[in-house]
Amino acid sequence: MRVLIKNGIVVNADGQARQDVLIESGHIRQVAPAINPELPCETLDAEGCYVMPGGIDVHTHFNIDVGIARSCDDFFTGTRAAACGGTTTIIDHMGFGPAGCKLRHQLEVYHGYAAHKAVIDYSFHGVIQHINHAILDEIPMMVEEGISSFKLYLTYQFKLNDDEVLQALRRLKDAGALTTVHPENDAAIARKRAEFIASGKTAPMYHALSRPLECEAEAIARMINLAHLSGDAPLYIVHLSNGLGLDYLRLARAQHQPVWVETCPQYLLLDERSYQAEDALKFILSPPLRNVREQDKLWCGIADGAVDVVATDHCTFSMEQRQRLSGGDFSRCPNGLPGVENRLLLLFSHGVMSGRISPERFVALTSANPAKLFGLWPHKGQIAPGADGDIVIIDPRRTTTIRHENLHDNADYSPWEGMVCQGEIRQTLSRGNTVFRDGKFTGSPGQGRYLRRKPFKHPVP
């Protein structure tokens, strides 16, 4: 199959130009100012539109079981929503397995979840929920199977202590893997939660008050220091929500420490006032939403290069689930927000169209940097000969009003309901196949491939 995209503005992280793009057999064959193919092909006119690499969302939670509930998006509905929002690759953070299970246990489970369901290409992050010699010995074998990043938690059921973190960091570095971490101070959170609950303060606002930004920032600083003690093991901070944590990351980078950070649209565009709304249960996630001052600090990091990636942490529990399980008590409400379909358009509208960032910086945050950090470059993250034919076409002249009734996930609400975005996702191609066009999903389950990712390599600036 051949596809020719004509007359668009092709944008990569290192520049943009008015060019045509020819895709053959799932790969980009040619990028040039004017392409006249010798053989018949489908022609797409992208006049007035940006033609960009398909988005890479490196932080999703599809089909995750959190003990009290299972998220309502599986690998079909989740990747369908991603495709309809211009994302062509996801890397899913696998949930915890049974206590004491082998490291590869969850990999086998998740292969079962995703096979024959995923609409777009996918991979997984390993999850380390306890440390012993057997677990550490499994890490190199997992890297050989294409799992080149692993997640540690400093809170929740299977949190690791500092000694366990040090052991993990060292072995992951030696094996060619990137350590990702959910950083929150578990002891401080547990103390504050217990005090609020004992006082009968269980409204959604107390979820945010029980997890103040200092709990997140302290854990970020601790992880940075532990990574340095581990021979400067490469470290990636997930879902940053505050400026103090970003300050610690800037300090580490000033010392040339290999540390990277992602944030999410909810921390850029939503704030703690959501917890005062009648439907406040919809906004419970961890870390919680912060105030507008923290938003401004994150936008500064987006603009000046301190933030490397914008992902989503898509983890969907319906409002029905939240109400039934919690009865309005934040401590019994499952955590997480939907958003995999809205990431690109939200950042395009509030970043590019507002003048905060360039189109090139947008591509870096949503596609190129994720590809480089997580072993997918150069086949993903760029529009260049030899790369996969993963493309999103965005029309900046149109506007989109986000309505859940028009979205493609399996939730029963959107945190972005009614938000007006400047721009429209016009078409998404995954390896040259159109999976979304003009508001309609056109893909099918099983089209997505499992991606064996390369060992971690420090990306070239």
Q: CA 20 to CA 35: how far, in whole Å?
A: 6
Beta bridge partners of 32: 20
Contact 433, 119 (CB under 8 A): no
Q: 397 — phi, psi (to 5°)?
A: -85, -15
Q: How many CB atoms lie within 10 A of CB 293?
A: 10
Which ranges of 255-358 would DSSP assign to H, the alpha helix? 265-269, 292-304, 319-326, 343-347
Angle, vertex CA 15, rays to CA 31 and CA 148, nearest 5? 85
List C-alpha distances in Å: 415 to 235, 260, 293, 362: 30, 27, 20, 22
Q: How many CB atoms lie within 10 A of CB 16?
A: 17
156 is in an annotated binding site: yes
Contact 55, 91 (CB under 8 A): no
286 is in an annotated binding site: yes
Q: CA 260 to CA 266: how far, in whole Å?
A: 19
Q: Considering only CA atoms, which of 297, 229, 292 is closest in space to residue 261?
A: 297
Q: CA 182 to CA 155: how far, in whole Å?
A: 8
Q: How many CB atoms lie within 10 A of CB 65?
A: 12
Contact 118, 75 (CB under 8 A): yes
**Helix 186-198 and helix 213-229, axial crossing angle in degrees, nearest 10:** 160
**DSSP structure class, residue 388:** B
59 is in an annotated binding site: yes
Q: CA 18 to CA 10: how far, in whole Å?
A: 6
Contact 247, 271 (CB under 8 A): no
Angle, vertex CA 73, rays to CA 68 and CA 75, nearest 5? 120
291: its two tokens: 């105030």
239 is in an annotated binding site: yes
The helix or strand, by DSSP H or E, that contains position 440, with its residue range, turns out to be strand 440-441
Q: CA 441 to CA 257: how far, in whole Å?
A: 43
350 is in an annotated binding site: no
What single-letter amino acid sits at 82?
A
335 is in an annotated binding site: yes
| Pairing outcome for strands 2-12 and 15-24 | antiparallel
Distance of CA 273 to the CA centre of its chain: 24
Enumerate the known binding-site residues for substrate. 156, 286, 335
Output the known binding site.
59, 61, 151, 156, 182, 239, 286, 313, 335
Give the annotated binding-site residues for a divalent metal cation: 59, 61, 151, 182, 239, 313
